[in-house]
Amino acid sequence: MKTLSIKQPWAELILRGRKKIEIRKWNTKFRGEFLIHSSKVPDKDAMKKFGFENLPNGFVIGKAKLVDVKAYKNDDEFLKDKDLHLAGKEWGNKGFILKNPQRIEKIKHKGNLGFWELNKK
């Protein structure tokens, strides 16, 4: 199944339903359900900002459905969705619109860049 590595606490915020748009610098034609992998290295500043101390890193921890990609053309558009993506402009201008986040039993995995296929061994 397609999998996307996302730094903590962003992965956790998606699973809790607080983050509904994942910001990226690249676009994708992929639509559908994918697994959420928590990257090995967390975003330490964001961990503090959102009040997290210890979240799982280096695991597939959930799944969600990518339903569309929004291309932000300007700062006003980006800021309008701030409560949905919770991110800064430095992360990119493509918004992966997510639905139906669900937590799953953790699977240890090192992760990868972009969408990648989970190889269960």
Question: In degrees rounded to 5, what are phi and psi of residue 10?
Answer: -60, -40
Give pTM, 2 decimals. Answer: 0.93
**CA-based nearest residue to 61, from 103, 117, 21, 101:** 103
> Residue 45 pLDDT > 80, yes or no?
yes
Provide the Cα torsion 104, 105, 108, 110; round to 10°. 0
Check residue 69 and report its DSSP letter.
E
The Cα 51–Cα 46 span in angstroms is 8
Task: State residue 84's pLDDT score.
Answer: 96
Which range has the worst mean pLDDT, 15-24, 58-67, 94-103, 106-115?
A: 106-115
The Cα 31–Cα 108 span in angstroms is 25
Using 50, 70 and 90 to split pLDDT, how confident is the model at 120? low
Query: 3-state class of 56 per DSSP?
Result: coil
Task: State residue 119's pLDDT score.
Answer: 75
- Asked if the bond preceding 101 is cis, omega within 30° of 0, the reply is no
Check if CATH label 1.50.10.10 holds for domain 2-117: no
Residues 6+ apart with CB under 8 A from 39: 5, 6, 7, 8, 11, 57, 58, 111
Strand partners, 32: 66
